[in-house]
Structure 1
Amino acid sequence: MTAHALAGALADDARRRIFAAIVLGATSATAVAQRVDLPARVVLTGVRRLTDAGLVAGADGALAVDEASLRAVVRDNRSPDDAEPAADDALKPWCAAGGSDHVTLRRYLIDEQLLTREHGIHQRL
């Protein structure tokens, strides 16, 4: 499954509601239909599309989120560490004219919750 296929599978409101019901514990099409208040035909079609996309597994008739497939999408779509410049490198051009240094700017971005720091690694939110 690709990120594009994942987005396509969840682009429909009914399928998002069906997926949410399964995530929250509905294990059959009947239970999903009751939770999301959709006709059985819509639920069965949605479950089939979610299964085809790799989001849902239906082992022995019990519906469940296919967590391994979701983890694979995240793992396969991560950008390499060097693809995006480090926060310090990206901020230095903004501070080249003076007035503020990149460390102060980085601190302001963290204070405004636009940047986070965990274990010494800065990431955009």
Structure 2
Amino acid sequence: MRPETAIGLLADSARLRVFSAVVLGAATPPEAARAAGTSPREAATALRRLRAGGLLEEADGRLRVPEGAFEASAREASAREASAREPQPGSPAEEFRTGDPRRDALLHHYVRDGRLTSLPGPLQRRREVLRHLALNSFEPGRRYPEPEVNEVLRDWAGRARTDHVALRRYLIELNLLDRQDSVYWLRDDIWADFHV
């Protein structure tokens, strides 16, 4: 049974009271009507709907809740919820997949189509965005001459309100890249986990 079906059946106050009466031990329609405080006709209508919906059954002349009625609904709801949490194509989580929803949201805000849209003001957020840029632009252990670094950073800075020279300076200042004699490389500790 779909969770929406169970919720819909129990959304009516008379059906909810009759269902509760059966759960609490009412075994016949007259007992359910009395315990629920409804008329026999109202109880009969509620019981018919609850049986048709699969929330109640009658066995050996006694009303009862089918075993596992809610477990199946809970499993289905849980499976749908897990499926909804899976990244959808084109979603921020699909694009970045860092495993951290806050980090994915931050990157989605400042990075579009592999380009910076702007840089965050707060230092830790700026560092996280630039860390993403560095990890997606430079290979560990490889040395890059300054003209090559400039070319990569020009591509990133295309839509941002900053230029490649500022990006290069930030990458050095934030200890994401190292530099010596106009040669740049990723720092070994760039893999450390930063927090937004």
Q: What range describes the TM-score normalised by the shorter chain of this pair?
A: 0.5 to 0.7
- TM, length-normalised to structure 1: 0.65
Kindly provide the CA deviation profile for residues 7-29 of structure 1, in whole angstroms up to 9, marking residues without a partner as x: 22112110011111111121111
1:94 deviates by 6.5
Within 5 Å, give how 1:39-50 maps onto structure 2. Answer: 39-50=39-50
Higher relative contact order (CA 8 A, sep 6+): 1
CA distance in 2, matches of 1:15, 1:79: 26
Which amino acid counterpart does residue 16 of structure 2 have in structure 1?
A: R
Could you tell me how far apart the structure 2 residues matched to 1:79 and 1:13 are? Answer: 27
Distance 1:2 1:82, change over 3 A: closer
Q: In the alignment, which residue of structure 2 is the partner of 1:8?
A: 8
Alignment of 1:19-38 (within 5 A): 19-38=19-38
Count residues in correspondence.
Answer: 101
Equivalent residue number for residue 101 of structure 2 = 90
For residues 37 and 81 of structure 2, the distance between their equivalents in structure 1, rounded to whole angstroms, comes to 42
State how far apart, in whole Å, the 2-side matches of 1:61 and 1:2 are: 27
State the superposition RMSD in angstroms: 2.7
1:66-98 Cα deviation digits (max 9, x unpaired) = 23232222222322646426xx62233567754
Structure 2: runs of 5 or more not aligned? 87-98, 108-121, 126-194
Report the CA distance shift for 1:47/1:84 in structure 2 as closer, same or farther (over 3 A): same
The answer to whether 1:75 aligns with 2:75 is yes
Identify unmatched segments of 5+ residues in structure 1.
Answer: 103-125
In the alignment, which residue of structure 2 is the partner of 1:121? none
The alpha-carbon distance between structure 1 residues 60 and 14, as it changes in their structure 2 partners (threshold 3 A), is same
Q: Find the counterpart in structure 2 of residue 106 from structure 1.
A: none
Aligned equivalents of 1:7 and 1:61: distance in 2?
Answer: 26
TM-score by length of 2: 0.44
Quickly say closer, same or farther: Cα 1:80–1:42, change in 2 above 3 A. closer
SS of match in other structure, 1:32: helix
Percent identical: 32
1:23-65: CA deviation from partner (whole Å, max 9, x where unpaired): 1121111111111111001001101100100001111111111
